[in-house]
Amino acid sequence: MTLRPYRPLLLGVSLVVPFTLLSACASAQPTSNQAEAAETRVSAESSPTLLAQNTQSSTSSQPTQPDLQGHASFDAWLAAFKRDAAAQGISQRALSALDNVRYLERVIELDRYQPEFVRPIWEYLDSAVSSTRVRNGREKLAQHRQTAARMEERYGVPAEVLVAIWGIESNYGGNFGDFSALNAFATLAYDGRRSDFARGELLAALRIIDSGDIDAQDMIGSWAGAMGHTQFIPSSFEAYAKDGDGDGRRDIWGSIPDVMASTANYLARANWQPGQPWGIEVTLPADYDYAQTERRSSAEWAAQGVRSANGSSLPAFDSAALIVPAGAKGPAFMVGPNFRSILRYNNATSYALAVATLSDAIAGREGIQQAWPRDQVPLTRAEVRELQQGLNALGYSVGGADGILGPNTRNGLRAFQRDQGMVPDGFANQAVLERIKQR
């Protein structure tokens, strides 16, 4: 089963990524950080691939009821959609694939799911980069080494990175979902909450069928329509999928050469820099200013006292950010352009860190050295709302109390921490909530 990425409660230094990424989950159960990721996913669904996901379920919250926009029936909506699709050039052969499409309430339940609890990043990484996944990744790389090497030569993306994304996205093909993409997007388009996105993806799916790349019954993926071994949504398939085995089709469901070529092409188009690492674990000076959000060169970070955790030289980045996904008490990382390329695949820092560290482990490189602050208890959504309300009441304007730790909340929290003589790392935990409540 795949793992849902943890979007860090707070970053000591923000990573601003101009192109946010996509959407869905391969298994049927949404997970602990879906509430925070939902708005990013929904606003960015025009981009490519899926979020991996956690197999743990939560019973702490219930899905909301769907809003069907007042449509008379799903069948009536589907008939109107078919007429519009035909007017846009979709063939009758492809349109016939909609004859068996049906509305799935389960898709709406999963889309509406808002969990109460957020998994800490170390728990996510424990599973995402488990010893089993590392071992299986090494086996997959050995099995497909020639294909991976060929794609590395063609696109400049290391073989172990391609295998790591494969592992995080679908557990090396073990779970890329069992939902019909046509059912998923038709349901979401009819439902209305993000109908424009889903309607566009449904049209793209029909164009893929028209192209002959895949038959409708084989277009299988997650409940949100992300498809195949490395979970492309249809519009991303159209833009980035490649024929890696030369058979004239782009098959991310059954052809590993096509899977690797498509994934490598996506990262290459996302500005992957051949020969550069994703980043490096670092140590920070005692007086480090956690409020810094700028990207700087490695030389500039070194001038501030930033050093590699293993004593090696810092990578020669012209532009790098520092991130502290668990605050000042956890590991710190200097991340360069290739980390941002992984974020283009999925705009969650934890996801990018999972891919990066899994690829390192598959290649036999060392893992994260500094311990995670496992004694820290993450805040529930209700507690995050309480924290936001408290910050607003104290004059640290963070916007609406929505239970989501976004940039405004992080900035307000850092300002509060600074004023209280605390380390202003923007990391929300029980201790800082209690301090706010005491004011």
Mean pLDDT of residues grouped by 10 in the chain (439 residues)? 37 31 38 31 31 30 42 89 96 96 96 82 96 98 98 98 98 95 97 91 98 96 96 98 97 98 98 98 95 92 97 97 95 98 94 98 97 91 95 96 90 94 92 93
3-state secondary structure of 49: strand
For every residue of 412-435, DSSP letters joined together read: HHHHHHHHTTS-------HHHHHH
Confidence (pLDDT) at 377: 82
Confidence (pLDDT) at 1: 37
**Alpha carbons 104 and 274: distance in angstroms, whole number:** 43
**Alpha carbons 383 and 394: distance in angstroms, whole number:** 16
For residue range 330-384, list pLDDT tens digits in order: 999 999 999 999 999 999 999 999 999 999 999 999 999 999 999 988 899 999 9
C-alpha R_g of the chain: 22
**Alpha carbons 234 and 219: distance in angstroms, whole number:** 10
**Alpha carbons 8 and 351: distance in angstroms, whole number:** 10
Question: Which residues does 375 contact at the CB level (< 8 Å), separation at least 6?
Answer: none
With b for 16 or more beta-carbon neighbours within 10 A and e for fewer, the 84-114 pattern comes to ebeeeebeeebbebbeebebbeebbbbbbbb
- How crowded is residue 5: how many other Cβ atoms within 10 Å of its Cβ? 30
The phi and psi torsions of 279 (rounded to 5 degrees) equal: 165, -160
Confidence (pLDDT) at 71: 56
**Alpha carbons 207 and 39: distance in angstroms, whole number:** 27
Choose among 166, 171, 161, 124: nearest CA to 27. 171
Confidence (pLDDT) at 70: 52
- Which tokens in the block code for residue 262? 């498509």
- Which tokens in the block code for residue 23? 């959407």
Question: Which residues does 54 contact at the CB level (< 8 Å), separation at least 6?
Answer: 3, 4, 31, 32, 119, 124, 127
Write the CATH number of the domain with boundaries 74-115+173-247: 1.10.8.350
Would you list the domain boundaries of the chain?
A: 74-115+173-247, 279-335, 381-438
Confidence (pLDDT) at 232: 97
Residue 93 has, within 13 A of its CA and on its CB side, a CA count of: 8
Angle formed by the axes of helices 159-170 and 145-155, to 10°? 110
With b for 16 or more beta-carbon neighbours within 10 A and e for fewer, the 152-163 pattern comes to beebebbbbbbb
- Which tokens in the block code for residue 15? 């990573």
Question: Which residues does 117 contact at the CB level (< 8 Å), separation at least 6?
Answer: 32, 58, 60, 378, 380, 381
Contact 274, 156 (CB under 8 A): yes
For residue range 80-103, list pLDDT tens digits in order: 999 999 999 999 999 999 999 999
Confidence (pLDDT) at 407: 85
Confidence (pLDDT) at 49: 40
In this structure, what is the dihedral angle of CA atoms 222, 339, 327, 321, given to the nearest 10 degrees?
-150
Confidence (pLDDT) at 24: 39
Contact 390, 439 (CB under 8 A): yes
Name the residue type at position 103: Y
3-state secondary structure of 163: helix
For every residue of 173-201, DSSP letters joined together read: TT-S--EEHHHHHHHHHHH-TTHHHHHHH
- Which tokens in the block code for residue 294? 């700028």
Spacing of C-alpha 210 from chain mean position: 29
3-state secondary structure of 50: coil
